[in-house]
Structure 1
Amino acid sequence: MMVSLGIAGASMLVMAMIFSYILGWANKQFKVQVDPKIEEVIEALPGANCGGCGYLGCSDYAVAIVADNDPVNKCAVGGQACAQAIADIMGVEVGDVVPLHAIVHCNAPVSSRLGMTQYMGEKRCASAQQVAGVQGCTFGCLGFGDCIEVCNYDAIHIVDGLARVDYEKCIGCGACTKACPRGILSVAGFKEEAIPVVACSNKDKAKDAKAVCNNACVGCKACAKESDLFTISDNLSKCNYDDYSAPKYEEAMKAIEKCPTGCIHFMGTR
């Protein structure tokens, strides 16, 4: 009996040694060589894993930079210093880093909304979105704060039923845009401290838009006549943020003044 146990134990030991050797050999033979620059770039990134760069996290972005020559200036959290550090690692020019911030495409506080009903369900935008007739405007902010829950920077708050961005804190990570079931939030590059924004998402015709909100865009084209920054599509004005710079401030102000419902505003830190 003891001899049998000894033989079994010895056999197991020999087999363990053989498998260890095989695994060690396989590890060396099939090891994937990782470019050391990837590790350097990961170290240079802030590790926020916010997804604002368009990738799932900092590691994926680092791989894209090294393997695919992706631009080094996409990290909103790290900003210019981070971009410069990565540029030094990669031996490239950093380029300008345009600050990214969230924009709320709705400017209707509760007092401006028409056709409101009492909602008794779960106080979440995602839940309220599933209920017909929660409010007259099916495009506007629901105001239950799903965007607040996902913001790690305390940069968005609900004031009088409307999401508002704190531009001193917002780094443009885009988490709020993914949380909003109505898609009224977007992220844009701010070439200036403040940029003109069409704060409305209503694509209905003027009569229907005015029936549900006092502040809705009515697609009247008044803004487009004053400035080529604005175009009208689907009954809704849109602003080309990439074309806006300080020299266009005056024409942007003229467009704002001509807007009959006051749905165009400058948003930012100014």
Structure 2
Amino acid sequence: MILVTLAIAAGTMLVMAIILSYILGWANKTFKVEVDPKIESVLEILPGVNCGGCGYLGCSDYAVAVVTDNVPVNKCTVGGKACADSVAAIMGVEVGEMIPLRAIVHCGATSSQRLQTTQYRGEKRCAAAHQVAGVQGCTFGCLGFGDCVRACNYDAIHIVEGLAVVDYKKCVGCGACSKVCPRKIITIAGFKEDQIPTVACSNQDKAKDAKAVCTTPCVACKACSKISDIFTITGNLSKCEYDSYTAQHYEDALGAMEKCPTNCIHFVGEPSQLNTP
């Protein structure tokens, strides 16, 4: 009797398995979403790092956007021009102007150039230190605990004397460092030239307060903006208009750098981050 019961149970399970397999097979064919083969082709070309530098969550989302929404094919900063050319060939479009994107750290003060610092005993991460008042006098400066270093997959940013420094030979402009910086002093900018000028300061306080916490702050003296129209003063801080900078502005930008009373204007980019181009 037991054997008969077991046999019936086994037979029932077998029949149910066959029926369910049929139903699943039917559903798979009926509700299958057809994927445009171009999406798969584009995805094969993209580097697959899912860094988000293109503005999408990952390579798959970007591939879909390129094929279905006609998004520009040159937004992959990691793949660069070679990747854009290949994607453009698949889509039958022109690549268009492709300006390399790179990270810029808007702080130039090393540990020895920061004033009013205190010993921090908490977790050695920028995100944690940023929550503690009085870690350093400048509340706009680089904290130097390396969150950006850990976020970079290309070994393109390092902490040197307490300051984040970009290796422009390795930086691909993916934006990972910018996203994790709690003080938002790292930006991603287009480099029309190998080297571009930048104001290595983010302090928005008035000159007196800025000089009290750092030896190299921007004091909004307007000397740079009087020499070169690449620089504009917003509030208490000078900023460089990267989109407008070309080689024709080099001499004026160099003059602005030399005129800066606190030496907070630098040229950044390849071959290395230097105070002079």
| TM-score after normalising by structure 2 | 0.94
CA distance in 2 between counterparts of 1:143 and 1:16 reads: 60
User: In the alignment, residue 87 of structure 1 is paired with which amino acid?
Assistant: A
Look up the match of 2:198: 197
Look up the match of 1:253: 254
CA distance in 2 between counterparts of 1:216 and 1:145 reads: 22
Look up the match of 2:185: 184
Look up the match of 1:81: 82
CA distance in 2 between counterparts of 1:105 and 1:86 reads: 34
CA displacement 1:138-160 (0-9 Å, x = unmatched): 00011111111111111111111
CA distance in 2 between counterparts of 1:5 and 1:118 reads: 74
State the shift of 1:95 in Å: 1.4
Q: Which of 35-44 and 176-185 deviates more?
A: 176-185
State the shift of 1:5 in Å: 2.9
Within-5 A mapping of 1:28-107: 28-107=29-108
Look up the match of 2:274: none
CA distance in 1 between counterparts of 2:268 and 2:150 reads: 22
CA distance in 2 between counterparts of 1:169 and 1:5 reads: 67
CA distance in 2 between counterparts of 1:131 and 1:81 reads: 45
Q: Which of 122-131 and 24-33 deviates more?
A: 122-131
> Are 2:28 and 1:23 equivalent residues in the alignment?
no
CA distance in 2 between counterparts of 1:253 and 1:247 reads: 11
Secondary structure, aligned partner of 1:215: coil
State the shift of 1:188 in Å: 0.8
Secondary structure, aligned partner of 2:145: coil
Secondary structure, aligned partner of 2:224: helix
CA distance in 2 between counterparts of 1:19 and 1:122 reads: 54
Q: Which of 91-100 and 77-86 deviates more?
A: 91-100
Look up the match of 1:132: 133
Runs of 4+ in 1 over 4 A off after TM superposition: none
CA distance in 2 between counterparts of 1:11 and 1:146 reads: 59
Unaligned runs of 5+ in 2: 272-277
State the shift of 1:224 in Å: 1.5
CA distance in 2 between counterparts of 1:171 and 1:87 reads: 20
User: In the alignment, residue 244 of structure 2 is paired with which amino acid?
Assistant: D
Within-5 A mapping of 1:142-153: 142-153=143-154
CA displacement 1:79-109 (0-9 Å, x = unmatched): 1110000000000001122111110000111
Look up the match of 2:162: 161
User: In the alignment, residue 55 of structure 2 is paired with which amino acid?
Assistant: G
CA distance in 1 between counterparts of 2:12 and 2:129 reads: 66
Secondary structure, aligned partner of 1:196: strand
CA distance in 2 between counterparts of 1:22 and 1:113 reads: 69
State the shift of 1:12 in Å: 2.1
Q: CA RMSD in A?
A: 1.3
State the shift of 1:161 in Å: 0.9
How many residues align? The count is 270
User: In the alignment, residue 152 of structure 1 is paired with which amino acid?
Assistant: N
Unaligned runs of 5+ in 1: none
> Are 2:130 and 1:123 equivalent residues in the alignment?
no
User: In the alignment, residue 267 of structure 1 is paired with which amino acid?
Assistant: V
CA displacement 1:158-193 (0-9 Å, x = unmatched): 111111111111111111111211111111111100
CA displacement 1:8-54 (0-9 Å, x = unmatched): 32222222222111111111111111111000001111112222111
CA distance in 1 between counterparts of 2:97 and 2:164 reads: 30
CA distance in 2 between counterparts of 1:158 and 1:234 reads: 29
The share of aligned pairs that are identical, in percent, is: 72
Secondary structure, aligned partner of 1:254: helix
Q: Which of 39-48 and 225-234 deviates more?
A: 225-234
